[in-house]
Chains A and B, each alone.
Chain A
Amino acid sequence: MTALATPAGGGAGAALVVHEAHAPHPAKPAIDRLGLWLFIASESMLFSTLAVARFYLAGLDRPEGVNLPLGLALTVDLFLSSLLSYRAVTKIRTGDRPGFLAALAATIVLGVLFIGGVAMEWASAEFGPGTPYGTAFFSMTGLHVSHLLSGLVVLILVYRLGRRGSFSADDHWGITAAVRYWTFVDAMWLLVVFPTLYLL
């Protein structure tokens, strides 16, 4: 057999570099960014399926009991929360840790408010889940809230890490990633859930 391959059996030559199997790859930031974008692309398919199901089942029907003012208030709340989450990233980029923490805390509070608003809407809805529109309404808002809850957990973990000083102006991928996911969840409300259920 050929002699050019590495020492058979992973002998002495292998032992020299044996510890470096998981050294950070030079393209690490690009790798992390692409991973998150692909995850977002995949998750958005779930929302689009439910949006299609809404029109397949209920056409353009929308019952009288849909609370448009509450829907609008929720939309504004989520939009503000997205803006504040971006402010958090901007602040940590300049090394302003207190500013970052304040913006992130406000993001989280608006997120909790949103969940409270959806709970109110579920409790006061004049239609049940057993109608075509109701099926679409409860499944889409439910899917969205479950994503929002996971986003909140991530934001709270990032907040805790931020208070411990785990992030700096040059090292804050954890924040960027959490905020990008949060913005994605907000965008799903603004672009898919809200127009599909309240406007069309």
Chain B
Amino acid sequence: MSDDLPAMGEARSVPTSPPTPASALIPIARGLIWALVGFIAGAGLTSLARAAAGLEPWSLELNFTAGYAVALPGWLLGVGLWERWGREWFGRPVADGPTDWRRYLAFTVDHKVIGIQYLVTFLGLFFLGGALAMLIRWQLMSPTNQPLGAGAYNNVMSLHGIVMIAVAVASVVGGFGNYFVPLLIGARDMAFPRLNALSYWLVPPVAVLLLLSLAFGGWDSGWTAYPPLSVRNASGQVLFNLAIITFGLSSILGGLNFLVTIIHMRAPGMTWGRLPIFVWGVFATSWIALIFTQFLAAALMMVLLDRIAGTSFFEAAAGGAPLLYQHIFWFYSHPAVYIFVMPGFGLALEVITHFSRKPLFAYRWAVAGFLGILGLSGIVWAHHMFVAGMPGQLLAPILVSTELISIPTGLIFLSALGTLWMGRLWLRAPMLFALGMVFNFLIGGVTGIFLADVPTDIGLHDTYFVVAHFHYTIIGGEIFALFAGLYYWFPKMTGRMYSERWAKAHFWLMFLGFNATFLAMFWVGLHGMNRRIFTYPIDLQGPNLVTSLFGFFLGISFLPFLWNMARTLLARRAEPAPANPWAARTLEWQTSSPPPPENFVADPVIDGHPYDYGVPGSVHAVLPGVGATGTLTEGTR
């Protein structure tokens, strides 16, 4: 468990060979080779054991699972876990990784590198999931003349769902959490830097398995993977289950790392009452990831065991209970929506207070909101099961507990509105996205009431009303916050300033495209269009055509974003970013852009609240030997 590196770790090593594109791929190539060797060993031994027991040596799903169980550690060790950590378990010295640009393709422990790795990976997955959404909307333009068959549609819909869920789980926490939590609390790194790298390198196998599953017939049970279908469909389902169990492990270890970091690594004087609000969001989220993710892993493991080990968790004919899956699955997957949205809330509040040039309104109540959501998150899961046939006595209590969640959520919302009230709003791109998030989430939250109430949910369950509702909370809430964070922290991460004009164009196109697409979906849902069906009644063609056209518009709205990133990162003439372009008070802006490996030239000492804009004499932090932060940044916008 010990995870300290020798002092003078990474930065000491000198590259022995000039960095070439080919040499950058060595760790990944080694990981793939070790994974292949592991797979052959695991699958081969299983075959031998089966042959010895007089069974058919090859059983695809069992052999694949056993092969993967060895291939996964093989991949991790090969990609760098062995060199940088594993050697220590055998009493040997660990080796250093590359320090130049190749570190982005290696098992690197710097939290800033890992943050960038998460961001780039999950933006890539976001655009993959978006392309699949375009396919879905292409199919649904017409109920008859459709490009995908029913089977292909189910696979595409399932893949879109799980890819976007993965993006929602890990893009904000994995990307911005890793990069900025240590900076915001004045630490030099996460509590367990090597565990952090391990969490990231668990992600590529997830993506590979999900795509590889298409070669095994895909899986048509949606991202929820309910049995009995998921016990009986194509073998691609097994790859899905292995992928998501792996992803769960990554999420658990990440949550653990954030909790220990936030509890123990805060700079002197960074009391809980002075913690930046984004850090509070990540803190509450990490508890959910740590505790609840195991239930998802358990549910998926049970499906896997039913398929490969002959158990009967969900085989009703043998005494199994398919409803058990739904209970366990939603016991994680409802709290998971707070994994999506709480870091987004924290990020939006962060941006709103800096760009309103006012102290964060009702800071303590906002913190109470995060902790209140955390406390209630475990007792509302069955609102996904109102029509599933569960015991009737559960309906009323779950209705009430679900409605109760709107109280802590409302506190966070009021904190945002109170901060905006009478503020001097600075409408740069990050602020526009944060305001867009507040607007969208209001619609997402209000429509959620109809799904939390049993009488209305009975009619709305499994219609496009639900689809529109959760897209409003996840895209409208979290993904808008993701882009707010991208523009807000882009100068810090890259040392360059993006083009504000292209960023604003991105915002307005995305905001209009998003709202038009999903408002129309509420309408078709209210008119009875079922979700997850490859076709629909002909009289709904008009609104579906409109939804699809606006959906394509939403897809196109990301082109200005990509162009903006490309021209800023690739062009030589890009405007360099100063250390603190927003004249913000929090710690990440009190160091260079991008920060040095140890984050600050001197370990900061915290002296006051981070958001006291306009409070005379208030200082947030002092960097010994450098100066005070906070007071001098006033009036520089």
B1 at the interface (CB under 8 A from A): yes
Q: Please name the residue on chain A nearest to B630 by beta carbon.
A: A4
A28-B4, A43-B294, A161-B91 known; A4 and B259 CB under 8 Å? Answer: no
Q: When the two chains form their complex, are residues B324 and A129 in contact, meaning their CB atoms are under 8 A apart?
A: no
CB of B205 to closest CB in A, whole Å: 19
Q: Please name the residue on chain B nearest to A30 by beta carbon.
A: B264
Chain A window 155-192, contacts with chain B (Cβ cutoff 8 Å), 1 for yes, 0 for no: 00100110010100000011001000100000000000
**Of the residues B256, B257, B592, contact of A42 by C-beta under 8 Å:** B256
Kindly list chain A residues whose C-beta atoms are within 8 Å of the C-beta of B11: 18-19, 21
B579 at the interface (CB under 8 A from A): yes
CB of B126 to closest CB in A, whole Å: 27
**Of the residues A1, A24, A57, contact of B581 by C-beta under 8 Å:** A1
Could you say which of A63-71, A84-92, A101-109, A132-140 contacts chain B?
A132-140
CB of B618 to closest CB in A, whole Å: 14
A23 at the interface (CB under 8 A from B): yes
Q: When the two chains form their complex, are residues B580 and A130 in contact, meaning their CB atoms are under 8 A apart?
A: no
Q: Please name the residue on chain A nearest to B327 by beta carbon.
A: A56
Most buried by B among A20, A21, A41, A131: A21
Q: When the two chains form their complex, are residues B636 and A1 in contact, meaning their CB atoms are under 8 A apart?
A: yes
Kindly list chain A residues whose C-beta atoms are within 8 Å of the C-beta of B295: 45, 49
**Of the residues B1, B10, B260, B321, contact of A21 by C-beta under 8 Å:** B10
- Interface on chain B toward A: helix, strand, loop, or mixed SS? loop
Give A129 to B628 CA distance when docked, in angstroms.
Answer: 66
Give A77 to B324 CA distance when docked, in angstroms.
Answer: 34
CB of B610 to closest CB in A, whole Å: 15
Q: Please name the residue on chain A nearest to B325 by beta carbon.
A: A53
A6-B592, A161-B91 known; A38 and B580 CB under 8 Å? Answer: no
Count of A-B residue pairs with CB < 8 Å: 222
Q: When the two chains form their complex, are residues A46 and B591 in contact, meaning their CB atoms are under 8 A apart?
A: no
**Of the residues A2, A23, A39, contact of B632 by C-beta under 8 Å:** A2
Query: What total of chain B residues lie within 8 Å of the partner, measured CB to CB?
Result: 83
A199 at the interface (CB under 8 A from B): no
B134 at the interface (CB under 8 A from A): no
Q: When the two chains form their complex, are residues B290 and A49 in contact, meaning their CB atoms are under 8 A apart?
A: no
Kindly list chain B residues whose C-beta atoms are within 8 Å of the C-beta of A161: 89-91
Q: When the two chains form their complex, are residues B578 and A1 in contact, meaning their CB atoms are under 8 A apart?
A: yes
Q: When the two chains form their complex, are residues B5 and A22 in contact, meaning their CB atoms are under 8 A apart?
A: yes
**Of the residues A20, A22, A24, contact of B109 by C-beta under 8 Å:** A22
Q: Please name the residue on chain A nearest to B625 by beta carbon.
A: A13
Q: When the two chains form their complex, are residues B2 and A174 in contact, meaning their CB atoms are under 8 A apart?
A: yes
Q: When the two chains form their complex, are residues B598 and A21 in contact, meaning their CB atoms are under 8 A apart?
A: yes
Could you say which of B32-40, B307-315, B393-401 contacts chain A?
B307-315
Q: When the two chains form their complex, are residues A46 and B312 in contact, meaning their CB atoms are under 8 A apart?
A: no
Q: When the two chains form their complex, are residues A31 and B191 in contact, meaning their CB atoms are under 8 A apart?
A: yes
Chain B window 572-609, contacts with chain A (Cβ cutoff 8 Å), 1 for yes, 0 for no: 00000011110100000111111111111110000000
A6-B579, A42-B294, A130-B310 known; A24 and B592 CB under 8 Å? Answer: no
Residues of B93-119 at the interface with A, using a CB-CB cut-off of 8 Å, are 109-110
A83 at the interface (CB under 8 A from B): no
**Of the residues A5, A53, A56, contact of B580 by C-beta under 8 Å:** A5
B291 at the interface (CB under 8 A from A): yes
Q: Please name the residue on chain A nearest to B9 by beta carbon.
A: A22
A5-B591, A25-B264 known; A32 and B313 CB under 8 Å? Answer: no
Q: When the two chains form their complex, are residues A5 and B589 in contact, meaning their CB atoms are under 8 A apart?
A: yes
Q: Please name the residue on chain B nearest to A50 by beta carbon.
A: B298
A46-B298, A173-B2 known; A9 and B495 CB under 8 Å? Answer: yes
Residues of B1-45 at the interface with A, using a CB-CB cut-off of 8 Å, are 1-12
Q: When the two chains form their complex, are residues A157 and B89 in contact, meaning their CB atoms are under 8 A apart?
A: yes
Q: Please name the residue on chain B nearest to A44 by beta carbon.
A: B294
Q: When the two chains form their complex, are residues A19 and B8 in contact, meaning their CB atoms are under 8 A apart?
A: yes
Chain B window 297-341, contacts with chain A (Cβ cutoff 8 Å), 1 for yes, 0 for no: 111001001000111110100111100100110000000000000
Q: When the two chains form their complex, are residues A157 and B1 in contact, meaning their CB atoms are under 8 A apart?
A: no
B629 at the interface (CB under 8 A from A): yes
Kindly list chain A residues whose C-beta atoms are within 8 Å of the C-beta of B583: 1-2
A17 at the interface (CB under 8 A from B): yes
Q: When the two chains form their complex, are residues B633 and A35 in contact, meaning their CB atoms are under 8 A apart?
A: no
**Of the residues B1, B578, B599, contact of A36 by C-beta under 8 Å:** B1
A17-B598, A34-B264 known; A4 and B632 CB under 8 Å? Answer: yes
Q: When the two chains form their complex, are residues A32 and B2 in contact, meaning their CB atoms are under 8 A apart?
A: yes
**Of the residues B310, B580, B601, B636, contact of A129 by C-beta under 8 Å:** B310
Q: When the two chains form their complex, are residues B1 and A32 in contact, meaning their CB atoms are under 8 A apart?
A: yes
Give A58 to B312 CA distance when docked, in angstroms.
Answer: 11
**Of the residues A10, A139, A142, contact of B596 by C-beta under 8 Å:** A10
Complex A-B: 11 CB contacts under 8 Å: A4-B626, A17-B596, A22-B188, A31-B265, A35-B192, A42-B290, A49-B298, A53-B302, A56-B324, A135-B305, A161-B91
A-B pairs, top 5 by smallest CB distance, nearest first, are A14-B596, A5-B579, A45-B294, A21-B598, A49-B298
| Interface contacts beyond A42-B294, A49-B295: sample of 4 additional A-B pairs, CB < 8 Å, sorted by A | A21-B110, A129-B310, A132-B320, A138-B309
A: which residues have CB within 8 A of B? 1-11, 13-14, 16-25, 27-28, 30-32, 34-36, 38-39, 41-43, 45-46, 49-50, 53, 56-58, 128-132, 134-135, 138-139, 142, 157, 160-161, 164, 166, 173-174, 177, 181
